[in-house]
Structures are given as structure tokens and as C-alpha cells.
Amino acid sequence: MRTRKMNWRNAAYEYILMNGPATATKLVEEVKQKNGRDFKIRGPPHPNAASQLLRVDKRFESRMVRHRTQAIGDGITYMSYEVCEWSVVIDEE
């Protein structure tokens, strides 16, 4: 495993353990350093980069989740789309 942005990956691991599975967008927005600051330079700049970082780390696994949104205009319209949700691999030994 590469050591690129290891501090951000460790913080993402702790965030997922505390809050449950999350999307890459949520991780980029919510994962903070221990002192409460954002990972501006040392973290991934966008969700695609976050997914690439998590993909190479064996502690994480991903799955596609279908989300449903509601748009109210002339009538009620429902849209659904899939997002990649990241979770922590639990070793059962």
C-alpha cells in the first residue's frame, strides 16, 4: 500500500468507524485533522481523488447505493441515482 496522504486516510478510517458508511463527497467535506482544521493541502482536492485514495487501502470497501430524491414543481417527480459508499472492512478472525 502506498503511503500517499496517509494522515487523511487514517482520519477517514476513524470517521467511518464513528459515523458509519459515507460517500467520498461526505468524507472530503467532513474529515478533519486532529486539531479541527480541514485537510486543505494534505487531503484529496475532490471526491474522485478521495475514492482513488480509498480504493488502494485494504481497510476500506465500497458498494453502490441507490439514492432517491424528490423534486417538487408542477408535480412530484422522483429521481434515483447510484453513489459509491465507503465502509470499513471488519476482520473476523
Copy the grid coordinates of residue 4: 500517499
For residues 6 and 10, what is the distance between their CA atoms, to the nearest angstrom? 6
Query: Which pLDDT belongs to residue 92?
Result: 60
Phi-psi region of 50 (alpha: psi -120 to 50; beta: other; left: phi over 0): alpha
pLDDT in tens, the chain (93 residues): 566 788 889 999 999 999 999 999 999 988 887 777 777 777 888 899 999 999 999 999 999 998 878 777 777 777 888 889 999 998 765
- Report the domain count for the chain: 1
Is there a domain that residue 28 lies in?
A: yes
Question: Does the residue 74 lie in any domain?
Answer: yes
CA nearest neighbour of 60 among 24, 34, 29: 24
- pTM of the model as a whole: 0.79
Instruction: Please give the residue range of the domain that contains residue 36.
Output: 6-88
**In-domain check, residue 31:** yes
Look up the CATH number of the domain holding residue 77.
1.10.10.10
Asked, for residue 1, whether it belongs to a domain, the answer is: no
Angstrom distances, CA of residue 41 to CA of 15, 63, 75 = 19, 28, 44
Q: For residue 28, count CB atoms less than 10 angstroms from its CB and return exposed for 0-12, middle for 13-18, buried for 19 or more.
A: buried
Q: Is residue 43 part of a domain?
A: yes
